[in-house]
Structure 1
């Protein structure tokens, strides 16, 4: 498993995917955002408004958060 996939799985299991950083065990319960095992992407975009060193940033917005 790649390092990126491992990192994403860890952030999902002890949930830190949204700004709440609630640490919910998403495999067994919903987090503060009421999202459980499956989350849904509301929108995504390349964001060019950050500082030059951070551009472009790939912004992903989840529904429910």
Structure 2
């Protein structure tokens, strides 16, 4: 199971760290995240603490990907 930390910078300039879980390996998970957010109507279900967060690809300016752990 791959769990990634995604540091998302939104178009408005705000930053948000979320986690994304999947049963695939790390490379497949990164490819899935990029493919989903690259679509015109792409969405990604993530977690921010105990909350479910839905990211819409249209509102994201940049995305940093790291294995589970602190993003430095």
Report which of the two structures shows the higher radius of gyration computed on alpha carbons: 1
Higher relative contact order (CA 8 A, sep 6+): 2
TM-score by length of 2: 0.28
Structure number having the greater strand percentage: 2
